[in-house]
Chain A
Amino acid sequence: MYWHFFRRLPEVDVLIRLCEAAVDPWQEIASYQAGLAKLAGKYGATSVFVGSMRDFNQGDDVRSMFLEHYPGMTEKQLQHIVEQAQEQWPILESLVIHRVGLVKPEDVLVVVAVWSAQRGDAFDASRFIMENLKSRAPFWKKEVLASGAERWVEKNTDGYQHQPS
């Protein structure tokens, strides 16, 4: 398990964590928020995104998946993404957790949480962090199908089952 604490900007904190073991997002968020005593009464919005592993992809049943990453660059890019979010929205605190290694269907793969005074900032910043994580953080998924065949996921989707009208 890896722990990475980045505290560059004095007024804004972020925890970025890559984790080989199973993640309970609700426990992680609760315990992290419990440590934010200095922000008590300051935040009015907490936006949380939890991404989990499906048991299907592209029409096939998926049995398991290996999440490869580029150690060092992953943390550097995630830090950069959160800093860019901090430049655009007044974030008080943020948390990014991502699984690496072997994962199974139903496992939580990613958690993004943002605390801010107003809901719009929390919603928009968490979306920004998540979408940029998808396109810039160096993770790669290799699926093991029910048939036993293995395949790399070649690219991420736009995140919609149907285009919103």
Chain B
Amino acid sequence: MSIKVRYFASLKESVGRSEDELQITYPLTVHAVWQQLNPDFAMPDAVLAAVNMDYVALDVLVLDGDVLAFFPPVTGG
């Protein structure tokens, strides 16, 4: 199973990458995906997550083919 992970704005700069591809053998939570991909970087408190462009809680399971995005608080308008 494969999921795509995207990072935006200041979080993209902190992580040093805009995208990751993660192969998983069983469903993982959003938070667990972060930990697998960023073992040396604790997720900042204010981080928001979206799966397939909808906001999700960090304990939601990510499934094969999902696109998961992490980003800081939004500041448009």
Contacts and interface: CB of A to CB of B under 8 A. Distances in A.
| A is bound by B | yes
Given A77-B53, A109-B77, 10 more contacts: A68-B8, A70-B50, A76-B54, A134-B77, A137-B77, A138-B71, A140-B71, A140-B74, A152-B75, A154-B72
B73 A154 contact: yes
27 contacts: A51-B77, A68-B8, A68-B9, A70-B53, A70-B69, A70-B71, A73-B69, A110-B76, A110-B77, A130-B77, A133-B76, A134-B77, A137-B74, A138-B8, A139-B74, A139-B75, A139-B76, A140-B9, A140-B71, A140-B72, A140-B76, A141-B76, A152-B10, A152-B72, A152-B75, A153-B75, A155-B73
Interface of B: 6, 8-10, 46, 50, 53-55, 69, 71-77
A138 B77 contact: no
Contacts of A136: 55, 74
Interface of A: 51, 67-70, 72-73, 76-77, 98, 109-110, 130, 133-142, 152-156
Contacts, number: 72
Q: Which of B6, B9, B54 has the most CB of A within 10 A?
A: B9
A73 B50 contact: yes
Nearest to A156: B75
B76 A69 contact: yes
Interface of A is mostly: mixed
Q: Which of A51, A142, A152 has the most CB of B within 10 A?
A: A152
B8 A70 contact: yes
Contacts of A76: 53-54
